[in-house]
Structure 1
């Protein structure tokens, strides 16, 4: 068996496991297959975690802003715990990272009305790459919900045109706990979770005439790609996954009860019989 086979099988397995348990499942997979630990940790998206930097501002941590055991804040550009030789973007790319971070902070406020966002960029041989992270959680009495968006992109400049490759992953988790005092009513905990990944490529106009024009071009192009992608993925979740789940739930369990449903069916049959008899009498 080739080395790629177990890795492919592990990646396929993680895509089918609930996202809320992906961290513990990854630990088990890494313990069973330690030679694949680095590949698994670098390939599998995990629910985002929130930290607070030295300036008191929240930011999201993932493998893209990690260096060893430290994480870099996109607002201060410093690592926590402090790291003297931590990887940081070039000064030119750092300006774009800060500007793009501010732009997506506005995007987060408009579309999510809360939550946390972070943008991280790094230099590549042909241009640059980056990741846009968005997280929104909602904990209310008896229910928990979490939305995580991970948008990884690459950009290659070609004169006055830039080519972008985008890979977007959304992880969604919903749970309803048993309310206090409801344990005897036969209701149990309900959990619904999953992840979705989509890809897209785009060639868009790029203005290299000045630094400010370059920043504006990249922010506009990447922002439009992510906005369109999130809109399509939200629609797919709403129309396909949630509608399908509702259909399955309705088929398995009637909300009105069998006795009430039988009464409705009997009444419908009686009305159909009366209408049919009236129609036959009119024809005679």
Structure 2
């Protein structure tokens, strides 16, 4: 008999990413005994909030949540205010500040918009963190979409080296609706992992090492999404409707037929 949690996760992977919150709530209502496992295993779309102290946007998710409050990476304060909320120790917080500045520049260069946030927390033999990027396109009246990047990393320090275990998830959807073309919903998600040992001479090197890993991972996953989703859609459209004219297709068929006859004559 199939494992219920495996079946539930397989179902969530096949449903539209933009409806994850609604579908997850429905699934939890059907199978409440899977609540803890599903909430920890299913990545939900990132939400954007504004930091009251700095006025900057940041990403609210499980990685900066304590109760019903969310910690801003810019001010290190919770909204709503929470005096005893979980915060990283000073050394980790200092690294978190540097990482937020670095990935804010990365986001601006690669995404030309959107919001990024980095959250770090301490482990017994190192630290862990989440690098989050979200961009929404809702400027066009008949087109909208969103891109969510969720990079979770565990860093284990081993003397002058550090081991990085990275799990990256990208959730993407694009929606269009036109009278002439009808409605199109193109969506999906992809998760990949990477692991490597890299030399570390000073704490700031962690940010550079993570930056290189995430940059390479996002490029790889973007190409994968392009081939799997957009490439397949293009193939389907081309099968349904040829881009060339009817006369051009007939000329091509005639050339192919002529070549076929000449090859047969030569072989005979």
Tell me the TM-score normalised to structure 1 length.
0.85
Correspondent of 1:191 among 185, 195, 199: 185
Residue number in structure 1 paired with 2:115: 116
- Listed as ranges, the matches of 1:106-255 within 5 Å are 106-139=105-138, 140-178=140-178, 182=179, 185=180, 187-207=181-201, 213-214=202-203, 216-255=204-243
Question: Paired residues, what number?
Answer: 261
What is the DSSP-based 3-state SS (H/G/I as helix, E as strand, rest coil) of the residue aligned with 1:177?
strand
Deviates more, 1:265-274 or 1:102-111: 265-274
Correspondent of 1:30 among 28, 31, 35: 28
Residue number in structure 2 paired with 1:266: 250
* C-alpha contact 1:176 1:189 (8 A) present in aligned 2: yes
What is the DSSP-based 3-state SS (H/G/I as helix, E as strand, rest coil) of the residue aligned with 2:182?
coil
- Listed as ranges, the matches of 1:4-153 within 5 Å are 5-54=3-52, 55-139=54-138, 140-153=140-153
- Higher Cα radius of gyration: 1
* C-alpha contact 1:42 1:63 (8 A) present in aligned 2: no
Deviates more, 1:77-86 or 1:244-253: 244-253
Over aligned residue pairs, what C-alpha RMSD do you find?
Answer: 2.2
Residue number in structure 2 paired with 1:281: none
Q: Deviations over 1:83-123 (max 9, x none)?
A: 12211111110101111011100100111111100000111
Q: CA deviation at 1:152?
A: 0.1
**Where does the alignment leave 5 or more consecutive residues of structure 2 unmatched?**
263-268
Q: Cα distance 1:274–1:119, how it changes in 2: closer, same or farther (>3 A)?
A: closer
Q: Deviations over 1:1-42 (max 9, x none)?
A: 69xx21121111111111011110000011111122122122
**Where does the alignment leave 5 or more consecutive residues of structure 1 unmatched?**
208-212, 279-284
Distance in 1 of aligned mates of 2:252 and 2:213: 51
Distance in 2 of aligned mates of 1:270 and 1:31: 61
